[in-house]
Chain A
């Protein structure tokens, strides 16, 4: 489908511009010697210095990252299981029930999820802190992974599986060499969505955390009452830059690998 090249480019640029406008705004003021997000007074790096001296904030940032990575990874694995489970179920009614149950956590307001998890953990007797936060994040990320992976599974033609079986593939082979490669885009989509959910979450984490463990969201919301210091801007900018660097770097390394092995047969 031919599209007007220039218009298309303009549209994309506009979308990206709007997406990044707030981020750039935050970054701009992270250098403000004025101390707040109005009236840029002068350039300074003092907020960045403060970040590195604020050990508590750094620990919290690290915790946030750890929880995000681990919960996203584990929930992706669980979510793939879930999507597979739903697809293999024969009865349509059961399928629909499972899917509806799956989405309950997405529709439930964070506050309720947090409160009910808190009660749940207290009843079971899990100590509040890293464990409870991790479990909660895994729990509320699974549904979005399922939502991302399921369509791909459903698009998959069953003739692929039949062909593989005809050729003598075992169940494990079918899974690892036919199904998983096909749904990999869905898996990555699910993983990144799970990562987003975890990094953004405030209400659930707030309810289920304790004993000194905190994440960035909770800390920032707590500081809002006294006015958010530009130290937070600085920290966010740093995180942002590191992430961009990682993303771009990973992508180009990957590209080079793909090109160099393009000639050979792709191993499963």
Chain B
């Protein structure tokens, strides 16, 4: 009985995987062995292990980490506070809403907001700190990236928090735990799955940001995405671009394994 059900679900899903995941991966790996003139070569992989690309990889991972960290730090309290409100689903939708406005427009808006003569600097002058260079810094880059990824972190955490049985919390305080201990040993572990989903949905795409690296950080921050975009669109060196993509996929696989879901009940 169960076998039939499982087979049925697998059919459309595996079909999608083969068509849109496996086939493109094969294409990408295939391309990574060709150089810019179409000759078969391992040269692309050699190139990847040179200082330029290794530095870029490190830089990408570092920034992706920062972005994920800050997203988590900001999203978690937000998600928690949302569960306490009266019209929680409404507020949740309102949090997601800004992400439906076109990214380029929002980036231009930030260019204006963070500009030398923009509102942010006016505010800083008002409170006495004085004009600062906000644009084209690491700060603005991480800030805007977190801005973009926040809904992806809030949603899964919110869902996890909603699932949390309130009686656990009451039990904890009955047993004498203060707020921090309750959080550390009851709430957070039970919402870990949501946190993991959120981190995956943020960290992994953050590795290949390229629009924001140009618009907000003025190419001060270089990610692997910058290089890929250049190779694919400008140089037409699909081989090198594909090689970088292969490494991104491997990195992703490793991260998935490291943060893998351990069995904890469930249906099967």
Contacts and interface: CB of A to CB of B under 8 A. Distances in A.
A36 B68 CA distance: 34
B101 A240 contact: yes
Interface residues of A, number: 98
A255 B87 CA distance: 9
Contact of B260 (A96, A101, A221): A96
A54 to B, nearest CB: 16
Nearest to B173: A1
Given A78-B13, A147-B197, A171-B5, A103 B204 contact: yes
Size bracket of the B interface:
35 or more
Given A108-B249, A111-B229, A148-B155, A155 B20 contact: no
B193 to A, nearest CB: 4
A100 interface: yes
Given A20-B98, A107-B205, A26 B267 contact: no
Interface string B74-113: 1001100110110101110111111111111110111011
Contacts of B219: none
Interface stretch (A44-52, A86-94, A260-268): A86-94
Contact of B98 (A23, A81, A155, A217): A23
Contact of B264 (A87, A100, A117, A154): A154
B93 A192 contact: yes
Interface stretch (B37-45, B49-57, B130-138, B158-166): B158-166
Interface string A168-186: 0001000100010000011
Contacts of B105: 22, 26, 220, 228, 232-233, 236
Contacts of B94: 16, 244, 247
5 contacts: A82-B16, A108-B248, A155-B265, A158-B265, A193-B152
